[in-house]
Amino acid sequence: MIHVVAVITAKPGKRAEILAAFKANMPAVHAEAGCIEYGPVVDAEGVGPFQTKYGEDTFLVLEKWESLKHLADHAASPHMKAYGAKTKDLIANRVIHVLSPVA
């Protein structure tokens, strides 16, 4: 299994717009072969001082894929290319971490 943590930072005030496009694309991603988990998360509220927040312009995408091949197919899919084109001018920064579980 492959885990992905994508950290998406929107241009100021654009996070909701990106998330709307992201949520519209989710059914197509969930239908992909090998998709185990794929969804956005934001800072939890009321956690306390030990939390380090990402901030109001950032969200993370938590993903699980059956294999690297499934992840590569996802990245090359037409719906992801369309999502990327729709949101590219709204994103300030994007960092993607691809991780393997520790055996």
- Return the domain boundaries, the chain: 2-44+53-99
> Do the Cβ atoms of 48 and 73 come closer than 8 Å?
no
Q: Using an 8 Å Cβ cutoff, are 3 and 68 in contact?
A: no
Distance CA 30, CA 57 (A): 25
Please report the pLDDT score of residue 70 as a whole number: 98
User: What's the CATH code, domain 2-44+53-99?
Assistant: 3.30.70.100
List of residues 6+ apart from 73 with CB closer than 8 A? 32, 33, 34
The pLDDT of residue 85 is: 97
| Full-model pTM | 0.93
Mean pLDDT by runs of 10 across the 103 residues of the chain is 98 98 98 98 95 97 98 98 98 98 93
Count of other CB atoms within 10 angstroms of residue 70: 18
- For residue 14, the SS3 value is coil
